[in-house]
Chains A and B, each alone.
Chain A
Amino acid sequence: MHELAITEQIAKIANKHGEKNKASKITDLYLVIGELSTVIDDSVQFYWDLITENTLCEGAKLHFKRIPAVFRCNGCNKEYNLVQGELTPCPHCQSTSMDILQGKEFHLDSINII
């Protein structure tokens, strides 16, 4: 269910910037979503058409840019990724101490307007 709340926010932000730039229509939205943020593209897409009716965003296309998760191991300083979508200890030294370098992004990068 929380994709509904999120989709509403996406529309709100896009409409705000559309109005500010005197758009007659918003045609495309470019979203950046980190691999670690719990957002399902398909659910957002599902709600999108329902909630944007009669707004600047009606009919606009959603583009999702996924940012892969990258961790830096505090044991050996090497970087690694999720293994089949799962968080694992460092594959190089098995340490479980790491920092998240990227993957938690969740923002609207830009919109196309006419």
Chain B
Amino acid sequence: MVKNVSVVEKILSANDQLAVEIRQQLDNSSIFSMNLMASPGAGKTSLIERTLHKLAALYEIAVIDGDVATSIDADRAAKAGATAVQINTGGQCHIDANMLRIALNELDLENFDLLLVENVGNLICPASFQLGTHKNILIASIPEGDDKPYKYPAMYQDVDALIINKIDLLPYVDFDMAYFEKGVQFLNPNLVTFPLSCRTGEGIQAWISWLTGLIKNTKTT
């Protein structure tokens, strides 16, 4: 005898629930946290290095690096002054809340002011998995092309800030900034945006000031 049983459960509810718990854990430790997402090569690790050069002397910073394989990124972050933990996702295209939870166990969160989570390079999958971090940041880069907001709407819709990296390459690449910004504005009106170059350092200060404000805010509340 076949019986229909009502379920009505979100497929990613287990992940979302873990993300809520992670947020609680981070809040309890007064640590400000970010999930950095981008396509491969957009400059996630370079931005982390730049950020560390500016802030490592002022704050205790932890970096959790997600990659399919190797510890190249965590090594770079450690060299630049962070306490780094590498997650090898074993082929998975994203970090999920459970992987982050396990990595967090390796850190004494009370000792840190800022946590940077470097997600796996991918513009599709990480958008579906909440991690519980305070801000979701997307790094776009000029050589990727100006059509990315149109092609990866889910990623652009759900982020809290956008970095446009490699602006030093604008003179050499066919990148229509107005077209790009129109797409971004459509998907995520009034999104905080930082055009910058991790190579030359142009525009980095605006990003650092914004980030510093958020770290201080977390410390005082």
B interface residue count range (under 10 / 10 to 19 / 20 to 34 / 35 or more): 20 to 34
B93 contacts the other chain (CB 8 A): yes
Chain B contact residues: helix, strand, loop or mixed: mixed
B186 touches A112 (CB 8 A): no
B5 touches A6 (CB 8 A): no
A5 touches B187 (CB 8 A): no
Whether A78 is near chain B, meaning CB under 8 Å from some CB there, is no
The reply to whether A97 and B7 contact each other, CB–CB distance below 8 Å, is: no
User: A36, B154: Cβ atoms under 8 Å?
Assistant: yes
Q: Looking at chain A, what size class is its interface with the partner chain?
A: 20 to 34
Q: How far is the CB of B22 from chain A (nearest CB, A)?
A: 17
Q: Determine the chain A residues whose CB is within 8 A of the CB of B104 once the complex forms.
A: none
Q: Are B92 and A87 in contact (CB under 8 A)?
A: no
Partner among A10, A18, A36, A112 whose Cβ is within 8 Å of the Cβ of B2:
A112
For chains A and B in complex, what number of residue pairs have CB atoms within 8 angstroms? Answer: 91
Determine the residue in chain B with the shortest Cβ distance to A33: B11
A residues less than 8 Å from B9 (CB atoms): 13, 17, 107-108
Across the interface, which residues of A come within 8 angstroms of B14, CB to CB?
9, 12-13
Would you call B12 and A111 a contact (CB within 8 A)?
no
Question: Once the chains are docked, how many angstroms separate the CA of A37 from the CA of B129?
Answer: 12
* Closest chain A residue to B12, Cβ basis: A9
CB pairs A–B below 8 angstroms (29 shown): A2-B94, A2-B125, A2-B128, A4-B92, A6-B12, A9-B14, A9-B15, A10-B11, A13-B11, A13-B13, A13-B14, A17-B5, A23-B5, A31-B11, A38-B154, A87-B153, A87-B186, A97-B189, A106-B10, A107-B10, A108-B7, A108-B8, A109-B8, A110-B5, A112-B5, A113-B5, A114-B1, A114-B2, A114-B3
